[in-house]
Amino acid sequence: MRPETEEDVAQLIRTAREPLSPVGGGTRLRPGEGQGERLNVSGLAGVTLYEPAALTLVVRAGTQLDEVQRVLAAEGQMLAFEPDARPGSTIGGVVAANASGPRRVQSGACRDALIGLRYVDGQGEIVRNGGRVMKNVTGYDLVKLLAGSRGRLGVLTELSFKTAPIPPCAATLALPGLDATQAVAALTSALTGPYDVSGAAWLPGQGALIRIEGLEGSVGIRRRALSDRLAPFGEVADGDGACWSDMIPRVAEGDLWRIVCHPSEVARLLAALPQPLALDWGGGLIWVALPSGEVPRLPQWSGHAARVTGESPLTLPAPHPVVARLNASLRERFDPRGIFASESSCKPILQKNS
C-alpha cells in the first residue's frame, strides 16, 4: 500500500480488515515491528511551507530526511535535535521514533521542536493538532504524544517544526585517556558549567568528547575556559568533529541495546555490562552489544532499556501497572479496532526519559 494523499491514507485505514504497519523508509523499525501489511507513506512527500525568517517548516511525513536537511541548509538552518541521517530515513519516521541526536543535551528532543502535526487515527479520521507557528494555543498536546509512539496511535501525514540557525563555528574537545566510567564525570563537569555545551559523548579509542558551538569569538573563549576546567581529568586535545554526524553504532554480530538512564547511574550499569559501544547525552544514553538473545542483568535504575536489533522485541523494565493501563487506554482511544496496536511491539508509548 502506497497512498499518495492524506485522504488515501484515511480510506485505506477505514476499509482495513487486517493489522497495518505504517512505514516510511523502514530504517528505524525495531524487533517485532512492521509485522502487519505495510502502509508505505513515502508517497506523501514534499515541503508544504517554509518560512526561514519565522524559523518554521511544514513538511509531509514521507519526505526523505536528507531532502529536509538540504532545504534547511540552503537557508543556513537545521533541525536542532540533530537526527541521524541514515539512508532512506523519512521525516515521519524520525518523529515516530522521537529520534534525537547529540544536541539533545542543549536543544531538547525531536518532540520539543515539533509544533504541529496532522495524522490519521485508527478509525480513518484525519486529525490536526498544534499549529504552524511557535506561539500557538491548543487543547490536548497530541504533538508530544504522537512523537515517539512508533505508529501505534496513528499514521503521521504532515509535520510542523521550529528550525534553528546552523552555528557558524564549532569546536570539539577530547579527553582520550578516559574510559567510559571516568568520562561521565568529565562530561558532567562540562555540562554543568557556563559553556553552552551542544554535545557530550564517549567513544572507544576517542575518549570523552565535548562540543561547543556559536560565534567564533565566543567559541574561542569558551574553549579555553572549558579546557582549564577539564584539565584535572587528563590531557585535553582536539577531537574529531565528524563523530557527531552519527553516534548510533552498528553491530555485525549480536544484538544492539539502547539504555537510557541518569548519568549518576552509569557506573552501576556499566559494571553489569560489557564495554559500551558509545555513550551520549552526557552518559544518559548507553549503546551496548550483547550476544544474540541475551538479556542484560541490570540493577534497578530510573530509565529503560530496549533491544534495537535482533529476533524478538524486549523492553526493560516492564511498565508499572498504572502506566500499562494508561498505555492500553491510549491505544483503545486512538485505535479501537486494533489496526495499529501490535502486541509484538512492546515498548510503552508513555515512558520516562525516552
Based on its alpha-carbon atoms, the radius of gyration of the chain, rounded to whole angstroms, reads 21
Question: Can you say how many angstroms the Cα of residue 212 is from the centroid of all Cα atoms in its chain?
Answer: 21
Could you give the CA distance from residue 147 to residue 79 in angstroms, rounded to a whole number?
A: 15
Q: Which pLDDT score, from 0 to 100, does residue 139 have?
A: 54
Predicted pLDDT at 323:
87
Render pLDDT for 273-310 as a digit per residue (tens, 0 to 9): 999 999 999 999 999 999 999 999 999 999 999 999 99
Residue 318's pLDDT is what?
84
3-state percent helix, strand, coil for the chain, nearest multiple of 5: 30, 25, 45
- Per-residue confidence in pLDDT tens, the chain, 354 aa: 899 999 999 999 999 999 999 999 999 999 988 888 999 999 999 999 999 999 999 999 999 999 999 999 999 999 999 999 889 999 999 999 999 999 999 999 999 999 999 999 999 999 999 876 555 555 568 899 999 999 999 999 999 999 999 999 999 999 999 999 999 999 999 999 999 999 999 999 999 999 999 999 999 999 999 999 999 999 999 999 999 988 999 998 999 999 999 999 999 999 999 999 999 999 999 999 999 999 999 999 999 999 999 988 999 998 888 988 998 899 999 999 999 965 444 455 555 445
Q: pLDDT at position 51, please?
A: 97
Per-residue model confidence (pLDDT) at position 36: 83
Collect all residues with Cβ–Cβ distance below 8 Å to 58 and sequence separation of at least 6: 47, 48, 49, 50, 116, 132, 158, 159, 160, 161
Q: Which of 137, 146, 280, 135 is nearest to 201 (CA)?
A: 280
- Quote the pLDDT of residue 354: 58
Give the per-residue SS3 of 152-199: CCCEEEEEEEECEECCCEEEEEEECCCCHHHHHHHHHHHHCCCCCEEE
Strand, coil or helix: 8: helix
Judge contact between 36 and 136, C-beta under 8 A. Answer: no
pLDDT of residue 35: 82
Q: What is the pLDDT of residue 341?
A: 63
Say what the pTM is: 0.92
